[in-house]
Chain A
Amino acid sequence: DIHMTQSPSTLSASVGDRVTITCRASQSISNWLAWYQQKPGKAPKLLIYKASSLESGVPSSFSGSGSGTEFTLTISSLQPDDFATYYCQQYNTDSPYTFGQGTRVEIK
């Protein structure tokens, strides 16, 4: 199985900060990577798919980049509604679609 390593596990930031979360795959997954936002008691919400494509309705402050084994999610200016937990997921063909451990973004 492909192992996903996400960092950091917790991130303390202030409103207006630029925030970057990293996800590393144990082998190349091309651009088959998604980023989700999850709030307590809610299902994960898709933000980014195919590494850099923004899901419809998601603010343009969110962006994704990377290919192969290294990926990043960037929030250009953190808003109060963005404090949540973020997960990456690889969906390379014919492999279990494994997740990163999650990054909790909390108020500094």
Chain B
Amino acid sequence: EVQLVESGGGLVQPGGSLRLSCAASGFTFSDHYMDWVRQAPGKGLEWVGRSTNKAHSYTTEYAASVHGRFAISRDASEKSLYLQMNSLKSEDTAVYYCVSWISGMGYWGQGTLVTVSS
């Protein structure tokens, strides 16, 4: 069974940093693309960024709203995906989900809440 468990959310001041983790199990971690998606309170879903798979050298890409501030990485030995968030703004307040793409289907974690506020 595919499982994704996010952690690392919390309260951070504007301009601060936070690293989110996503622990994956139930599938071959290196074979699949993985995304981060966020949802601000009361708003819709926003794609944040992606890590491709090993075959594509784990390349990353980002939404314009986070490019240059956020960075996605993987630790294959730990089967974990990370989202390093720097220079955080109030508009980054959201629930952050990790998503794994397997056989054309998106599998989602339960999300972790990030609140950016002074």
- What interface size band does chain B fall in? 10 to 19
Check B106 against A89 for contact (C-beta < 8 Å): yes
* B-chain residues with CB within 8 Å of residue A102 when the two chains form the complex: 44-45
Partner of A99, one of B45, B109, B111: B45
User: From residue B9, how far is it (CB to closest CB) to chain A in Å?
Assistant: 14
**With A and B bound together, what is the CA distance between A96 and B111 in angstroms?**
20
* A-chain residues with CB within 8 Å of residue B45 when the two chains form the complex: 44, 87, 89, 99, 102
User: From residue A81, how far is it (CB to closest CB) to chain B in Å?
Assistant: 19
A 7-23 binary contact with B (CB < 8 Å = 1; else 0): 00000000000000000
User: From residue B105, how far is it (CB to closest CB) to chain A in Å?
Assistant: 5
Partner of B110, one of A43, A49, A91: A43
Partner of B101, one of A55, A91, A96: A91
* B-chain residues with CB within 8 Å of residue A87 when the two chains form the complex: 44-45
Check A99 against B47 for contact (C-beta < 8 Å): yes
* A-chain residues with CB within 8 Å of residue B44 when the two chains form the complex: 87, 99-102
| Interface residues of A, dominant DSSP | loop
Total A-B contacts with CB atoms under 8 angstroms apart: 45
Check A46 against B104 for contact (C-beta < 8 Å): no
User: From residue B67, how far is it (CB to closest CB) to chain A in Å?
Assistant: 11
Q: List which A24-53 residues lie within 8 A (CB) of chain B.
A: 32, 34, 43-46, 49-50, 53
* A-chain residues with CB within 8 Å of residue B70 when the two chains form the complex: none
**With A and B bound together, what is the CA distance between A34 and B107 in angstroms?**
11
B91 at the interface (CB under 8 A from A): no
Check B108 against A43 for contact (C-beta < 8 Å): yes
**With A and B bound together, what is the CA distance between A55 and B106 in angstroms?**
10
Check A50 against B61 for contact (C-beta < 8 Å): no
B97 at the interface (CB under 8 A from A): yes
B 25-54 binary contact with A (CB < 8 Å = 1; else 0): 000000000010000000011110010000
Query: What 5 pairs across the A-B complex have the smallest Cβ distances?
Result: A99-B45, A49-B105, A43-B108, A102-B44, A50-B104
New contact pairs (11) apart from A32-B104, A44-B108, CB-CB < 8 Å? A43-B110, A43-B111, A46-B106, A49-B106, A55-B105, A87-B44, A91-B101, A96-B63, A97-B35, A99-B47, A102-B45
